[in-house]
Amino acid sequence: MTHVKFESFVSRSEAQASHRIGFIGLGQCGGNYTDLFSSLKDNNKKSFYDCIAINSFLGDLKSLKNIPHDRKYALVGVEGGCGRKPELAKEALKNPDNQNRLIELIKSNLMDNPMYIVNAGLGGGTGTGIIVTMIKLLHKVINVPLIKQGKKPKPIGAIVTIPRKSEAPAEKKNALNAIKQIEKMMNSKEYEFKFIIIVDNEKAYREFKQLDLKNDTKFDNWMDYCNQQIVESIHEVNVATSFSSDKSFDPQEVLNIYGEWEGALTLGKIKFKSKDIIDSIDLVNKIVKTFQEGSVLADGFNLENTRTAGVLIVKPTSNKIISKNSLYDIEDKLAEIMPSSLYRSTGYIEWYNPNDTIIYTMAKVQELPERAREGLSLEYNATMNKIKENVKNTKIKTEYSDIDDDIFNSQSSKQINDNFDPFSDEAAASDDLKEDEDFSDVFDLD
């Protein structure tokens, strides 16, 4: 796997991560880009992030070179993999050995992080099958004790990939079912599950092919390119917000965007020649373009439904157009194009590159990007209709219903309930809080 390359400010001597995020990689796909996060180290050779990986096939775990051995776990009972069958991974979680080891992994490695991100590919077996359970388990192990102590719980998010258009209908159905479960969990507001980042493999594949035709890519395949985009989009902002500035976008503001309210998070980036900025109006237009067209991982967000947003500019020290005054113009424009936004932040840092300017954008939207919201379901139904027409007496089910578009609907926050079972499909309701170390409810699978 190709090593990740970042903008030069990331390697400055004073560079550090604003937040030491805890990452959980599930399955082959989630494990691969979690391994890249684990490879990132500061100038003292200390890892920026805490990472663990969980899979069914031991061979996939062995290929992860950066996550320490004792932070990798192969589920007992499915040693040969799940073969794109999520139900096999779910069944494996009924094994007490697997349950105990997952709890131990979290308690040993992830208790001190300010935020957690669960990584998985939606479409396969292991990641698709256990992502919802892992989010619930994180909340159970980490947040429930904090809430009982009167402390603020820590936000949990997910980075998930969705299949390409040409992938098999079975994979798309797996992804659609998982999205539906994830939506339901986020709507419940019970698990501090605050954001989902959709990675559209179709977009990554399309962009890689265009770059490859121009001989303008250092990657051998579109999957390595996609993993680079994922890691770059998170890490560069996390480092940039650690630098001082007379108008900073500080670490807490980043955490506010990640952790306040629920929604789908879109991350944008555009890099251009600084001489192309004529005035403040031109700068504002470029930022609007970054929000509208510069989304790194997925397309088709409705910015009018934005809840939280941020703009971070990396500018040359010599650039005088980008100033505190221009940030006020930016904030006015954000209020116009995001009328429903409840929280907005802007800031800039300077770097020693005299030629280039970078704009990073973050927006948390109340609905998924278009292809995850509608397109994937339409593709699946169209494919199944063709199969139905072309194959007589088919036994493949075609009654899959479309995903409800109205996700992240406004609901009042519910009281904390720690009597749920992360290892079951439905959380059991109870008003009686149990001791933090009592996981009998977790393992009651009947």
298-336 pLDDT, tens digit each: 999 999 999 999 999 999 998 989 999 999 999 999 999
Residue 117, helix vs strand vs coil: strand
Burial group, residue 5, by CB count within 10 angstroms (0-12, 13-18, 19+): exposed
Residue 386, helix vs strand vs coil: helix
Q: Which of 387, 290, 400 is nearest to 334 (CA)?
A: 290
Q: Which band of pLDDT confidence, cut at 50, 70 and 90, is reported for residue 38? A: very high
Q: Lowest-confidence range among 7-21, 171-185, 382-396? A: 382-396
Tokens of 280: 């403040």
Predicted model pTM: 0.89
Mean pLDDT of the chain: 89
- Write 143-150 long-range contacts (CB < 8 A, 24+): 143/191, 143/192, 144/416, 144/418, 144/436, 145/436, 147/416, 148/416, 148/418, 148/433, 148/436
**How does pLDDT run across 413-432, given as a tens digit for each residue?**
445 555 666 666 554 333 33
Q: Which of 319, 324, 323 is nearest to 275 (CA)?
A: 319
**How does pLDDT run across 84-127, given as a tens digit for each residue?**
999 999 999 999 999 999 999 999 999 999 999 999 999 999 99
pLDDT at position 3 is 72
pLDDT at position 416 is 54
Mean pLDDT, residues 131-157 taken together: 97
6: pLDDT strictly greater than 70: yes
Sole residue written with tokens 């980008």: 322
